[in-house]
Chains A and B, each alone.
Chain A
């Protein structure tokens, strides 16, 4: 009985977000399509002009597209942060007859769905435009699906944890320079990890601390299927660890900020 009530309210919470998502789709796409095309042009055509080997186009494109996840995550962090600080719509959701686990589970799933619905078509468009660089036969659909699921879970829990552990003012001032930019630049998003290792093992080890490394490498491994990247199995395993840390931080933030029943 309780399970069914929780599940049904959970579905209403998801449907509200999908309803809003469909309403805002045009504006979201307007924000996301320009970066897609600038990245396709930059990494697919301009960088090869200045000497980047064509074998690197696909891996670099896959890594560079991760900025979309950061952009969408940051938007969610700001929305949640503002709500917690000013509007407090969350207080209404807390008094609904649904357990807290289901409620926050719906927030995680909502963000995952939103990001999936935006990034998947954009990734696909990019792969189609750069089809000469992608060997469709090498794509491991099973690995790619799993990898994508873990990437979405990681980003959703990561950004929700930031929203609940930091104040909105701290987020506005610091989240890019102190969290997102270091995670991005100290990762193998724009160069494959094995290339970095070959150049400087110590720097490559530092990059292993960034979850973006496993996300970029896991995507490459699942889509391009060669041994030039960290295997997607390892990436998923390590992402699991990061997700657990995110959930612990989120749990702590919820208790501290909301003190719910």
Chain B
């Protein structure tokens, strides 16, 4: 195995309100390797989105550290951000701009030269089959198309790591399959992908390794093939149900 591109070390995230304290992540440690698709799984409230938002630098952890190529991302967070593409769960595109303008501005925010932006927009429009929506306003697009624009925006500056938080939630099966193709193509481009999902078929098809989070803790990290062999089961869904049931019994 090559060196980890991201090393998550003892991350804890506590949300405090007047009436309650929620420990969304509890001492989570794991490594993510360069070029892999890493699936983050868990039931609702397991801490998947919290972890991906910490990796995307949306929120700081309460304690712990994230190392990028062995160096804490918090030492020079903006350099780390240059290497990162993030597709959040909410389709938060720039509503005031068209599809093409969203991509152009994504390139400009990362200070890409105009000629490179032009080439990259053309390439991504082609790959993501967005050409016919080029001049559409965001509110004219379907959920699946918005998701593709979101992925395009995240890929615009040629990031080394892409975080996809529930990228196929609420989409039709055929659109999900198209997005699967796009996600698996990221691997061939050499991009490390962190895929947060609660669709286990998706994780099974796409992920090199999966991490199951349960109540903010890591239950296991393993490749799908090894898991199937270890548990003598045919699909990830059965394994997931067994593991979460075991974790609940232990809890």
Contact = CB atoms under 8 A, between A and B. Distances in A.
Contact of A88 (B77, B92, B105): B92
Contacts of B78: 2, 5-6, 97-99
Contacts of A53: none
Interface residues of B, number: 27
Contacts of B110: 96-97
A95 B81 contact: yes
A260 B79 contact: no
Contact of B90 (A5, A15, A88, A259): A88
Contacts of A8: 111
Contacts of B56: 95
Interface string A109-121: 0000000000000
A87 B90 contact: yes
Contact of A87 (B57, B79, B82, B92): B92
A259 B86 contact: no
Given A5-B78, A12-B109, A261-B77, A95 B57 contact: yes
Given A87-B92, A91-B88, A92-B92, A9 B109 contact: yes
A142 interface: no
Interface in A71-114: 87-92, 94-99
Given A261-B57, A261-B59, A88 B109 contact: no
A117 to B, nearest CB: 17
B77 to A, nearest CB: 6
Interface in A212-261: 259-261
A13 B86 CA distance: 19
Interface in B24-60: 56-60
Interface of B is mostly: loop
Contacts of A20: 96-97
Nearest to B96: A20
A101 to B, nearest CB: 12
Contact-residue size bin, chain A (C-beta under 8 Å from the other chain): 20 to 34
A169 interface: no
Contact of A97 (B81, B92, B93, B97): B81
A57 to B, nearest CB: 39
B74 interface: yes
Contacts of B86: 92, 95
Given A12-B105, A259-B60, A88 B88 contact: yes
Given A5-B78, A12-B105, A89 B94 contact: yes
A113 B59 CA distance: 30
A89 to B, nearest CB: 5
A16 B102 CA distance: 10
26 contacts: A2-B78, A5-B111, A8-B111, A9-B109, A12-B108, A12-B109, A16-B94, A20-B97, A87-B92, A88-B88, A88-B90, A88-B92, A89-B94, A90-B92, A91-B90, A92-B86, A92-B94, A95-B81, A95-B84, A96-B110, A97-B79, A99-B78, A260-B59, A261-B57, A261-B58, A261-B77
Return the 4 tightest CB-CB contacts between A and B, nearest first: A97-B78, A97-B81, A88-B92, A261-B60
Interface of B: 56-60, 74, 77-79, 81-82, 84, 86, 88, 90, 92-97, 105, 108-111, 153
Interface of A: 2, 5-6, 8-9, 12-13, 15-16, 20, 87-92, 94-99, 259-261
